Amino acid sequence: MLQGTAIEELPQSISKVKEIRILDLSGCSNITKFPQISGNIKQLRLLWTVIEEVPSSIEFLATLGVLEMNFCEQLSSLPTCICKLKCLERLELSYCPKLESFPEILEPMESLKCLDLSGTAIKELPSSIKFLSCLYMLQLNRCDNLVSLPSFIEKLPVLKYLKLNYCKSLLSLPELPPSLEFLEAVGCESLETLSIGKESNFWYLNFANCFKLDQKPLLADTQLKIQSGKMRREVTIIVPGSEIPGWFCNRSMGSSVAIKLPTNCHQHNGFAFGMVFVFPDPPTELQCNRIFICECHARGENDEHHDVIFNLSTCAYELRSVESDQMLLLYNPCEFVKRDCISQYSGKEISFEFYLDEPSGLQNRCKVKRCGVYFLDE
């Protein structure tokens, strides 16, 4: 094991070793040059080194599947020939603060699935990103110089996860690929606009603390898809706001709301839930990811709670700091809330309670200020 040692360079003889599959030099703070290696290496880990550049000779590592160079504070460039790594599946370059650009991709990279450029100084992505035809996850968190994404990002056919948290200069988002399911843009304080495609298929959108965002198109599109029955999966959306959308027929101050079910509720197509919440206390690391719970109770003749009919939960990621009121919208189609659970309460009153499932000792740090329920029938 060489990681964390004082080694300055690898012996030349190592280039003759053909059976090295994994080379880990992470934490070797005296390594200034990219190691000269050959053979059938699969994974190369160079985290926390002081390597300044990746040489063009990297193209000869034909079997390389994983390249990790996170936290390489002196790394300033990548060669365009990196696109010749036809087996590369994961490229991690996060928190390399001197890396200002990503090279043009001159030919398709059909194996690359995960690309992490978080915490770099890049200002834009090249339009040739369209050649990353198998890219599944793209992470650009805390890229303070990033102003926009190329329109060609729409051409990425299997992109499912996009993370843009705390990109302070990001102004707008272009139309995103229909394959996208998960988008985080927490704390993008300059973000003003986003384009929602007709074929969007997301299940999680988090725009917490994006106070300049024009969220009306997003919420209008979501309302239309829910009320028309076109939304077939569970969806969670978080945006800044202190009001429950007006199309929620049942709204209430506080953390609970009661509704009277219709007599034909065995035909329901699902529920939409809304809650406005705030965290009065400063966040802790334990509160990075937060689980919100919605419990449904039957009401008895004397207004007492009966057994829980069902409960639902959703996780809000990266909520390290909530500066003011945020609104969470959760939609669950009938596949998640079974008709059988509800039908026996047709014509009766049921109630919903919303709260945060917090670690022991940290309870009551979330205040639910408003909530609402929308019942979707056929």
- The one-letter code for the residue type at 93 is L
- Cβ neighbours around 143 below 10 Å, total: 25
CB 235 within 8 A of CB 201: no
Amino acid of residue 282: P
DSSP 8-class letter at 109: -
Burial of 9 (0-12, 13-18, 19+ CB in 10 A): middle
The pLDDT score that the predictor gives to residue 111 is 97
Check residue 65 and give its pLDDT.
Answer: 97
| In contact, 12 and 34? CB cutoff 8 Å | no
pLDDT for the residue 9: 79
- Residue 286: the pLDDT is 47
Reference 188, options 201, 205, 175; nearest CA is: 205
* Residue 91 DSSP SS3: strand
Domain range summary for the chain, segments of one domain joined by +: 250-377
Could you please state the CATH topology (level 3) that the domain comprising 250-377 is classified under.
Jelly Rolls (2.60.120)
Secondary structure (H, E, C), 273-334: EEEEEECCCCCCHHHCCEEEEEEEEEECCCCCEEEEEEEEEEEECCCCCCCCCEEEEEEEEC
Query: Which two three-digit tokens encode residue 305?
Result: 């709670």
Helix (H, G, I), strand (E, B) or coil at 123: coil
The upper half-sphere exposure of residue 287, i.e. CA atoms within 13 Å in the direction of its Cβ, equals 20
Other residues' Cβ atoms within 10 Å of the Cβ of residue 284: 11
Q: Which residue has the tokens 């709670």?
A: 305
Is the backbone of residue 164 left (phi > 0), alpha (psi -120 to 50) or beta?
Answer: alpha
Q: Are strands 235-240 and 326-333 parallel, antiparallel or unpaired?
A: antiparallel
d(CA 68, CA 90): 8
Cross-strand partners of 137? 114, 161
pLDDT in tens, 78-107: 999 999 999 999 999 999 999 999 999 999
Per-state percent for the chain, helix, strand, coil, to nearest 5: 15, 30, 60
Burial class from Cβ neighbours inside 10 Å (0-12, 13-18, 19+) for residue 338 reads exposed
pTM of the model: 0.92
The list of the chain residues with pLDDT below 70 reads: 1, 4, 12-18, 266-267, 280-288, 299-306, 321, 323, 334-340, 358-365, 378
